[in-house]
Amino acid sequence: MPVSDFELVQSWRQVLDLCNLQSGQSVTILTSIGTNAQTLRCAILAVQEKGAIANRLDLQPTNGGTSLSRDPLAYVGTTPLTGNRAAVEMLKASDLVLDLMTLLFSAEQHEILDAGGRILLVVEPPDVLVRMTPTVEDRTRVLENSARLKAAKVMKVTSAAGTDATFALGEYPILEEYGFVDKPGRWDHWPSGFLATWANEGSAEGKIVLAPGDILLPQKSYVTAPITCHLEKGYVRAIEGGFEADHLRDYMESFHDPEVFAVSHIGWGLQNRAHWSVMGFYDREASIGMDPRACAGNFLWSTGPNNEAGGDRDTACHIDIPMRDCTVMLDDEAVVRNGKLVGES
């Protein structure tokens, strides 16, 4: 259902407060042809209300003739900032960047963050933004769980459908998504509410069985029949099943890059205001699917790049796979059991 500008400005107000935006600071709002007009309009109003300077940097789209989908995460790494030094320097000079375009996995995003910049990605529909406006409590919950993840040496994931996979931990940092950027060099995504890390190189082993109801992104499709992914030495070595398994394999092979089969980030959802069923109510081009990515108690794993964690894989294919009804163990302690956060009803 549509939301009013008043509601969305209220949400922007809360987010900018959490980002510690101060009067007189410079905010660059990064846009392109697919930017939601209401999100942009309300962002400008909220920034100006804070007494900050609102700049808009509008860039031309890229990858349109290469990507097999209009989803901004269907072909990653190359963005309108690639080779665009003037734009990069403007963003580096900003106190806060509001990314209404999608820079994920790009070298330029890392350069801006390394310079102390802050980037908040905001591309979901306005009603999703209002429903999942971040809070201080979201940060507390994510950071409390992050401490447990940082201390763990092994993640083990199982399910009644047949999933039985292990991942050694400790080589890569933790991705803490709670929806706002409150310190220099931080990237986050509104809406969000989940934790992830990357398995040690070559350590992912076992099998992951996608059951009916699990989700493939950017395909934005609910799986209707089992798909078995065999993991060996950090890569998906085989994908077995019916039509949907063939469809997934064909899509990944279309990139002609063996690195698309590498296991990327692994983690679990912590956001109770995210809902598994919501994705089915949206046109596939309206949302990038943050509800299933952040839904409390999911197991979220992915394939493809790890450059955002400091690795050297920058392959253009990135697939996120949120799964239901899994048990996620950190060493010998369950944090998710049968799709439910441990310690919560």
For the chain, 345 residues long, give each residue's pLDDT as a single digit of tens.
799 999 999 999 999 999 999 999 999 999 999 899 999 999 999 999 999 999 999 998 776 666 566 666 656 667 888 899 999 999 999 999 999 998 877 889 889 999 999 999 999 999 999 999 999 999 999 999 999 999 999 999 999 999 999 999 999 999 999 999 999 999 999 999 999 999 999 999 999 999 999 999 999 999 999 999 999 999 999 999 999 999 999 999 999 999 999 999 999 999 999 999 999 888 877 889 999 999 999 999 999 988 888 888 888 899 999 999 999 999 999 999 999 999 875
Task: Compute φ and ψ for 22, nearest 5 degrees.
Answer: -115, 155
pLDDT of residue 63: 61
**Distance in angstroms (rounded) separating the CA atoms of residues 18 and 4:** 22
Together in a domain, 111 and 145: no
Together in a domain, 226 and 327: yes
**Distance in angstroms (rounded) separating the CA atoms of residues 61 and 322:** 28
Together in a domain, 124 and 185: no
pLDDT of residue 243: 97
Together in a domain, 109 and 242: no
Output the CA–CA distances (angstroms, integers) from residue 264 to 113, 136, 188, in the order listed. Answer: 21, 28, 18
- What letter represents residue 55's amino acid? N
Together in a domain, 144 and 292: yes
Together in a domain, 237 and 317: yes
pLDDT of residue 265: 97
The count of structural domains within the chain is 2
Q: Which of 131, 159, 178 is the last residue in one of the domains?
A: 131
The answer to whether the beta carbons of residues 10 and 42 sit under 8 Å apart is: no
Annotate 98-116 with b (16+ C-beta within 10 A) or e (fewer): bbbbbbbbbbbbeebbeee
pLDDT of residue 105: 76
Together in a domain, 127 and 146: no
The answer to whether the beta carbons of residues 274 and 290 sit under 8 Å apart is: yes
- Tell me which residue has tokens 């190189």: 201
pLDDT of residue 71: 67
- What letter represents residue 152's amino acid? A
pLDDT of residue 179: 98
Q: Which of 96, 131, 166 is the last residue in one of the domains?
A: 131
Together in a domain, 173 and 122: no
pLDDT of residue 76: 66
pLDDT of residue 65: 64
CATH of residue 98's domain is: 3.40.50.2300
The answer to whether the beta carbons of residues 215 and 293 sit under 8 Å apart is: no
Together in a domain, 105 and 179: no
Q: Which of 131, 161, 193 is the last residue in one of the domains?
A: 131
- Tell me which residue has tokens 């790890």: 306
Together in a domain, 12 and 151: no
The answer to whether the beta carbons of residues 268 and 297 sit under 8 Å apart is: yes
pTM of the model as a whole: 0.94
Together in a domain, 87 and 162: no
Residue 203, C-beta contacts closer than 8 angstroms, at least 6 positions apart: 166, 167, 168, 233, 234
pLDDT of residue 151: 97
**Distance in angstroms (rounded) separating the CA atoms of residues 306 and 263:** 9
**Distance in angstroms (rounded) separating the CA atoms of residues 345 and 335:** 13
Together in a domain, 194 and 67: no
Domain assignment of residue 267, given as a range: 136-341
**Distance in angstroms (rounded) separating the CA atoms of residues 108 and 29:** 16
